């Protein structure tokens, strides 16, 4: 490589670094405007705060205080946005509160970040099922099975959906698949007995 090429490479690297710093500054300013509390702390401190809020939300949920759990999870989502874990917990609480549309929106946001998580597809399918949107729920169970065909719970949940859709013979097959993957699965065994 010639001296001129080395100099040009160095200059390009310097400008790339300056652009990166400029974008980081813009993002930091944007973050401060969005959040109630400016996030000037170090990333470890942000993660610690988010973790603490998640623990408080879990405690509130275990005590049956869904509103307080939601409050803590909302704050955790502000502190650490775009976290699938936090979005999924927020969606779960919203579903428990009966706010299925909000739960679906949060699960969809999480899927936008990670469409290859079979557990999110399972979760959103259960909310769609509760809404009576069986076809959409079925699509998500199918996606979950394409991602992980070895997870017994997906087959069990899919079987429950098929029962709700009055497709009992297909449901039986799903329960059998669940039991083939996990022999000790009392819910699937009981579901089969009910269909016999």
14 confidence band (pLDDT: 50, 70, 90): very low
Per DSSP, the three-state class of 81 is coil
The pTM score is: 0.75
87-93: long-range contacts, CB 8 A cutoff, minimum separation 24: 87/113, 88/119, 88/120, 88/123, 89/54, 89/57, 91/123, 91/124, 91/127, 92/123, 93/57, 93/61, 93/66, 93/69
Give the integer Cα–Cα distance in Å for 159 and 176.
Answer: 9
Cα distances (angstroms) measured from residue 93 to each of 86, 119, 156: 11, 16, 22
Work out the mean pLDDT of the chain and round it to a whole number: 83
Give the integer Cα–Cα distance in Å for 122 and 145.
Answer: 9
Per-residue model confidence as pLDDT tens digits over 106-152: 999 999 999 999 999 999 999 999 999 999 999 999 999 999 999 99
Beta carbons within 8 Å of 66's beta carbon, 6+ residues apart? 60, 93, 96, 97
How much of the chain, in percent, has pLDDT values that exceed 90?
75
21 confidence band (pLDDT: 50, 70, 90): very low
Per-residue model confidence as pLDDT tens digits over 79-102: 999 999 999 999 999 999 999 999
The residue assigned the tokens 């944007």 is 30
């Amino acid at each position: 490589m010639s001296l001129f090429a080395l100099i040009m490479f160095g200059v390009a690297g310097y400008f790339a670094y300056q652009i990166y710093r400029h974008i980081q500054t813009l993002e930091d300013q944007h973050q401060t405007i969005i959040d109630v509390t400016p996030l000037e702390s170090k990333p470890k401190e942000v993660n610690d705060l988010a973790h603490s809020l998640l623990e408080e939300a879990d405690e509130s949920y275990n005590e049956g205080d869904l509103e307080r759990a939601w409050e803590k999870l909302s704050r955790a989502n502000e502190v650490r946005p775009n976290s699938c874990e936090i979005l999924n917990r927020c969606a779960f609480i919203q579903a428990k509160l009966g706010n299925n549309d909000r739960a679906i929106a949060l699960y969809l946001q999480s899927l936008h970040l990670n469409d290859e998580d079979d557990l999110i597809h399972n979760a959103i399918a259960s909310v769609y099922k509760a809404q009576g949107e069986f076809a959409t729920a079925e699509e998500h169970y199918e996606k979950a099975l394409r991602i992980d065909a070895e997870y017994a719970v997906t087959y069990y949940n899919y079987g429950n959906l098929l029962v709700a859709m009055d497709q009992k013979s297909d449901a039986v097959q799903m329960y059998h698949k669940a039991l083939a993957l996990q022999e000790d699965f009392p819910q699937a065994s009981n579901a089969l007995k009910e269909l016999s």
